[in-house]
Structure 1
Amino acid sequence: MKNILISFCATAALFIMFSCHDRLDRPAENRTFEEAIDYSNTSEMDAPLIGAYAAFQSRGWEQFPLISVRGDDVNNGGLGDQQPFADTDKFRYDKGYWMYNSLWQTMYSDIIDGNAAKEQIDLYAEQATGSNPAAQYKAEIDVLNAYLLFNIARVWSDVFIPETSNPSDLLTAEVKPKTEVMQYIADQMNAAIPLLPDMRPNQRTDLPGGVTKHTALAVKALANLELENYQGVADATSQIINSGLFKLYPDYYQLFKKPGELSDENLLQFQYSDFDQGTGTQITYLTAFFGPQKWEPKVEGINGGWGFYEPSLKYIKFMLDRGDRERLVTSVLFTPRGIEEIKKDPNYADLPDWVSNETPSGDVILDYARALFASGKHYLPSDQITPGRKSWANAQNMKVIRYAEILLMHAEALTRGATSTAITADAAVNLVRERAGMTPLSGVTSAQVLDEKLAELGMEWGIRYYDMLRTENYDELSYGGRDFSADKAYLPYPQAQVDVLPGLSK
């Protein structure tokens, strides 16, 4: 991996497959805007949009774990491999580490490419007669860009807001405070919302799973949560809830497997595919990072993973204390060695039978050196992997924003003084608990909502870590020998970017 200045190829549009769309069922192909393009052929106006989706979903394997690893729900796994990643988990930062630069570089590159795609859409629109979808397409890209910028700001706090397709503009730009970045995102979503389809992502027939009005509302709610504008959170989540379009997928375990793809719960997800073919072209995320190194799959021949992403013992004990069976069994893959480690604590010497190294799907997780546990949310049962494919969790979709998170954000906002006529905090929390087989609560508090978010959203997108930062629950992050303090909340700017972007040195 090269530590280089943000690479920019705004002229590249990568076509990606979304199901049920004849133009998108072709394998991925490259095309450059510098070629002679007939902008009067407005039937091709969606090409830049599809390129923006492709860039958005083409995330490097290192990005999700780097965003997520500092929470008390997750540990790094490893024995010296990627030591700066392990150090990051313990709040010891190396600004020269390639992972930091990769996350910064690729997310900013994709935002700038998205801005370029909007300019290409405008060129098509100039040639169009009558009404055309240019405004909607550009609004979709704004939502994708907003989610990328949201993550950049959560990781680094004060960052650039790229508003053009010219990367050299960053050479003279100044970083904006995190609060200003989040307000910018919320304002962008306000502008996008009326231009987007009023439906669930899985109801779109042109791009199933694509952005809708409710995706934009969800991103707006996330930005307002970071701003601690709880009425803004309640207003945005209320619109999603009142739409009546979304519901929780009934089976929490299968939600993260093939049956849960494009369910009514998903507001945004990364979609991948092997085209139901055992060989040949596929578009996928390298999920091997999360998997155990050794296992006995029910379907022989499927490879294990790398073992770098481990649910924490603290999280597991938290879930055991709650009797939160379904979500724990879904979220954690147990090894025999891991089960014995739990039992070393006298309070957990007698574990329930369902704590097992055999998954509900019949795959058996074995001991391996790097970790005691692996993430069940990044696991596909071997019998759900397309015959002929051998990679861990091959072509598994990755959930980004779920209706469960909307309900819990809504509940937290109400417990912190916001008002809404959509649904009470108790009702929102209990919908999520009911799906998990948990008893209902009455008079829920903010602390209880945060606990419910940990149980429901553990291992997902660093949600727990950023909740603890926002609420200044720093003691929760000082566990297992870690020593967290407020000055460690954000990563340092990557040295490779400091060297070339003057705004990062001020």
Structure 2
Amino acid sequence: MKRINHTIKLIGLVAMLLAFTACHDLLDEPAENRTFTEETDYTESSNMISPLIGTYAAFYSRGWENFPLISVRGDDVNHGGLGDQQDFAETDMFRYNKDYWMYNSLWEGLYSDIYAAQSAMIEFELYKENGANAATADQYIAEAKTMQAFLLFQLARVWGDVFIPATPDPADLLVADLSTKQEVMQFISDQMDEAIGNLPAVHPNERTDVRGGVTRYTALAMKALANLEMENYQAVADATSQIISSGKFSLEADYYNLFKIPGKLNDENILEFQYSDFGQGSGTAITYLFAFFGPENWTPAVTGAGSGWGFYEPSLKWIKFMLDRGERTRLETSVLFTNRGIAAIKDDPNYATLPDWISNTTPSGDLINDYARAMFASGKHYLPSNQLTPGRTGYGTNKNLIGIRYAEILLMHAEALVQGASSSAMTADAAVNAVRSRAGLSPLSGVTLDQVVDEKFAELAMEWGTRYYDLIRLERYNELNYDGRTFSANLTYLPYPQNQVDQLPILGGTQE
């Protein structure tokens, strides 16, 4: 019997936050170093799924600070204006502090889970060498590659030139060379080409072994995203065309509940970070810490439901943009209004009269009271108190976090076509109008790039920084100069965390 002992040290693995008692304690909690030691019998093929489950667990265990730091710099979203995370607010204003703990934690958290995926891929190869089903092993490798691709994609968008790990040993970073953002995106595209054929051609909610897990269409989506960053529009169109032609995905009619409990494993979702309280009012709950996004002060419809921390708000610029378009479905879903926020909108004479439905009471009956940090909160990160499992009180407990939606695929497809690509799967007009129809808007004819960009602004606000990275790619920098912000192209990327510069000399002096 062949046994292989191995020890894997993952740099700075941020423990998933399952419970919390004080906002300040969690906000300033440093990343933890963890060492995992494991003895595995690779001749036991039935155990091969274990490292796959471990890879998903690491992937889903996103540090709560990952998403807001990736997302806060667009003109769709603002930091909460007051509080003890001043450098988060400064980041939103394009004033960067390389010593800020959140930068280091994002870097370490993403790389930790990339190394977890790398380690799992080696394990799958060892199982295959020892008699495991080759097709299953190849599928699991492809799943790990796709999760790794998502993490590398975020790293390159945030920092530009980054490392592409070649082995599961973090010590390799001491001698590794940096890859340009373009090289990283090409690497992701090539990796997805390797993965696509080995993944099941099903919707994630059709998988029975790992329900909601990665499928062929997740890899195609990652290929499309990487090629969009490279402005390889034909490759974007080719990848999105395969997703569209599969017939596996559709837009959810109920936009409001798409982002809530009824939206879990929805037909619209292509990649989804899954969490659960297992339907129990107490005990173990695997959850993302949504409190960061929630209002500090509310009167929930269900007494005792906990409030949030108020650090993330839809921008007034975006709200006015949506009002100008006559939007209701997406605006009402995406924004939790306070009375102070409503008054701020009305302070502009052009918006002195607002639709009657704009209220500080949500469609689910939760009352959003005024609070100091922000005037609005993100409705896409809101779980109504009446959707909490009875007994649970933590803000957003049991809610999933959506990574990639079919709506984004349709709009990327349209963008590729108006940029000169071709496709027989769907026209740009049809793709944009499918998204507009769900939002209750009239159809367009002969859509332009400006109209596609506006539609992405409306549809994907507050989601993974999509708006910011669109503006950067299209060099529409002036849009980022709003509400006292001053942006220039040299501010595109965050500085490397000083803690990493101190450990990895190659990072020193590589950014201006």
On whether the aligned pair clears a TM of 0.5, the verdict is yes
Query: Distance between the aligned counterparts of 2:252 and 2:351, measured in 1?
Result: 31
**Is the aligned partner of 1:475 residue 2:478?**
yes
Shift of residue 130, structure 1, vs aligned partner:
5.3
**Is the aligned partner of 1:219 residue 2:222?**
yes
**Is the aligned partner of 1:8 residue 2:9?**
yes
Query: Distance between the aligned counterparts of 2:133 and 2:460, measured in 1?
Result: 45
Report if the CA contact (8 A) 1:426-1:444 is conserved: yes
Q: 1:8 is paired with a residue of what secondary structure?
A: strand
Match of 1:208 among 203, 207, 211: 211
User: Which whole-Å deviations, capped at 9, do the CAs of 1:324-364 have from their partners, x for residues lacking one?
Assistant: 10000000000011000100000000000011111111111
**Is the aligned partner of 1:411 residue 2:414?**
yes
Report if the CA contact (8 A) 2:306-2:394 is conserved: yes
Shift of residue 436, structure 1, vs aligned partner:
0.8
User: Which residue number in structure 2 is paired with residue 261 of structure 1?
Assistant: 264
Q: 2:262 is paired with a residue of what secondary structure?
A: helix
Query: Distance between the aligned counterparts of 1:50 and 1:201, measured in 2?
Result: 15
Label 1:487 to 1:36 Cα distance change in 2 as closer, same or farther (>3 A): closer
Match of 1:117 among 111, 116, 120: 120
Of stretches 128-137 and 338-347 in structure 1, the one that deviates more from structure 2 is: 128-137
Letter in 1 for 2:9: F
Q: 1:499 is paired with a residue of what secondary structure?
A: helix
Match of 2:309 among 306, 310, 335: 306
In structure 2, the gaps of 5 or more residues are: 1-7, 17-33
Shift of residue 488, structure 1, vs aligned partner:
0.5
Letter in 2 for 1:106: G
User: Which residue number in structure 2 is paired with residue 458 of structure 1?
Assistant: 461
Report if the CA contact (8 A) 1:8-1:113 is conserved: no
Query: Distance between the aligned counterparts of 2:451 and 2:165, measured in 1?
Result: 38
Mapping for residues 325-340 of structure 1, pairs under 5 Å: 325-340=328-343
User: Which whole-Å deviations, capped at 9, do the CAs of 1:359-409 have from their partners, x for residues lacking one?
Assistant: 111111100010000000000111110011111111210111000000000
Shift of residue 113, structure 1, vs aligned partner:
1.4
Match of 1:383 among 383, 386, 389: 386
Match of 2:56 among 41, 53, 78: 53
Match of 1:137 among 114, 136, 140: 140
Of stretches 417-426 and 131-140 in structure 1, the one that deviates more from structure 2 is: 131-140
Letter in 1 for 2:110: M
Match of 1:180 among 179, 183, 194: 183
Q: 2:503 is paired with a residue of what secondary structure?
A: coil
Query: Distance between the aligned counterparts of 1:305 and 1:335, measured in 2?
Result: 14
User: Which residue number in structure 2 is paired with residue 444 of structure 1?
Assistant: 447
Shift of residue 205, structure 1, vs aligned partner:
0.7
CA RMSD of superposed structures (Å)? 1.6
Report if the CA contact (8 A) 1:172-1:502 is conserved: no
Query: Distance between the aligned counterparts of 2:263 and 2:134, measured in 1?
Result: 36
Label 1:285 to 1:130 Cα distance change in 2 as closer, same or farther (>3 A): closer
Shift of residue 480, structure 1, vs aligned partner:
0.2
Report if the CA contact (8 A) 1:74-1:309 is conserved: yes
Report if the CA contact (8 A) 2:10-2:170 is conserved: no
Letter in 2 for 1:458: A
User: Which whole-Å deviations, capped at 9, do the CAs of 1:299-336 have from their partners, x for residues lacking one?
Assistant: 11001000000100000000000011000000000001
Shift of residue 54, structure 1, vs aligned partner:
0.7
Query: Distance between the aligned counterparts of 2:318 and 2:386, measured in 1?
Result: 28
Of stretches 319-328 and 35-44 in structure 1, the one that deviates more from structure 2 is: 35-44
Q: 2:39 is paired with a residue of what secondary structure?
A: coil
Query: Distance between the aligned counterparts of 1:129 and 1:80, measured in 2?
Result: 53
Letter in 1 for 2:427: T
Report if the CA contact (8 A) 1:174-1:504 is conserved: no
Identical pairs, percent = 66
Match of 1:157 among 160, 182, 205: 160
Report if the CA contact (8 A) 1:248-1:403 is conserved: yes
User: Which residue number in structure 1 is paired with residue 397 of structure 2?
Assistant: 394
Match of 1:147 among 125, 147, 150: 150
**Is the aligned partner of 1:95 residue 2:98?**
yes
Shift of residue 35, structure 1, vs aligned partner:
3.7
Give the alignment's TM-score, normalised by structure 2.
Answer: 0.92
Shift of residue 174, structure 1, vs aligned partner:
1.2
Label 1:95 to 1:182 Cα distance change in 2 as closer, same or farther (>3 A): same
Shift of residue 40, structure 1, vs aligned partner:
1.8
Report if the CA contact (8 A) 2:77-2:462 is conserved: yes
User: Which residue number in structure 1 is paired with residue 243 of structure 2?
Assistant: 240
Query: Distance between the aligned counterparts of 2:133 and 2:289, measured in 1?
Result: 43
Shift of residue 32, structure 1, vs aligned partner:
8.6
User: Which whole-Å deviations, capped at 9, do the CAs of 1:252-311 have from their partners, x for residues lacking one?
Assistant: 001001111101111001000010111111111110000001111111100100000010
**Is the aligned partner of 1:319 residue 2:316?**
no
Q: 1:109 is paired with a residue of what secondary structure?
A: helix
Q: 1:443 is paired with a residue of what secondary structure?
A: coil
Letter in 2 for 1:179: Q
Query: Distance between the aligned counterparts of 1:36 and 1:159, measured in 2?
Result: 32
Q: 2:402 is paired with a residue of what secondary structure?
A: strand
Letter in 2 for 1:282: A
User: Which residue number in structure 2 is paired with residue 342 of structure 1?
Assistant: 345
Query: Distance between the aligned counterparts of 1:472 and 1:37, measured in 2?
Result: 50
Query: Distance between the aligned counterparts of 2:373 and 2:382, measured in 1?
Result: 17
Q: 1:356 is paired with a residue of what secondary structure?
A: coil
Match of 1:359 among 342, 350, 362: 362
In structure 1, the gaps of 5 or more residues are: 1-6, 16-30
**Is the aligned partner of 1:69 residue 2:72?**
yes
**Is the aligned partner of 1:231 residue 2:234?**
yes
Shift of residue 218, structure 1, vs aligned partner:
0.1
Give the alignment's TM-score, normalised by structure 1.
Answer: 0.93
Number of aligned residue pairs: give it.
483
Letter in 2 for 1:281: T
Shift of residue 182, structure 1, vs aligned partner:
0.4
Label 1:200 to 1:353 Cα distance change in 2 as closer, same or farther (>3 A): same
Query: Distance between the aligned counterparts of 2:148 and 2:502, measured in 1?
Result: 25
Report if the CA contact (8 A) 1:246-1:403 is conserved: yes
Report if the CA contact (8 A) 2:135-2:198 is conserved: no
Query: Distance between the aligned counterparts of 1:482 and 1:32, measured in 2?
Result: 42
Q: 1:328 is paired with a residue of what secondary structure?
A: helix
User: Which whole-Å deviations, capped at 9, do the CAs of 1:52-75 have from their partners, x for residues lacking one?
Assistant: 111111011111000000000000
Report if the CA contact (8 A) 1:161-1:175 is conserved: yes
User: Which residue number in structure 2 is paired with residue 293 of structure 1?
Assistant: 296
Q: 2:451 is paired with a residue of what secondary structure?
A: helix
Q: 1:75 is paired with a residue of what secondary structure?
A: strand
